[in-house]
Amino acid sequence: NASSKMLMPVVMGHIHSAAGVSWRANPLKRIFSVDVGCGIDVDAWQFAYGRHYKKRPILSAAVILDGVPYHEVMRCSRGEPYHKENFK
């Protein structure tokens, strides 16, 4: 993880199949790392190469407020509010 190598909080964006916040701590400090998903349309022809991958893209966003990471996943799976079937 980049935060353990840098010894400081790290935010990385556009990771297609990983997203979330992880924490590390030692006796002196606590640091976080944030992996932000992507914002792609999996049905676009540009992403046809990934159709057979088992890991699917995670659409998400993150913000750091007063040194605290917040990560939100876009609820776009079947049956969730932002699934593409709701916008046809």
- Report d(CA 15, CA 39) in Å as an integer: 10
Can you give the length of the chain in residues?
A: 88
Q: What is the pLDDT of residues 15-62, one digit of tens each?
A: 888 899 999 998 988 999 999 988 888 888 998 888 888 888 888 999
Give residue 72's domain range: 2-87
Q: How far apart are the first and last CA of the chain?
A: 40
Check residue 6 and give its pLDDT: 77
2 pLDDT above the threshold of 80: no
Check residue 1 and give its pLDDT: 66
Check residue 71 and give its pLDDT: 95
Q: Does residue 41 sit in helix, strand or coil?
A: coil
Number of domains in the chain: 1
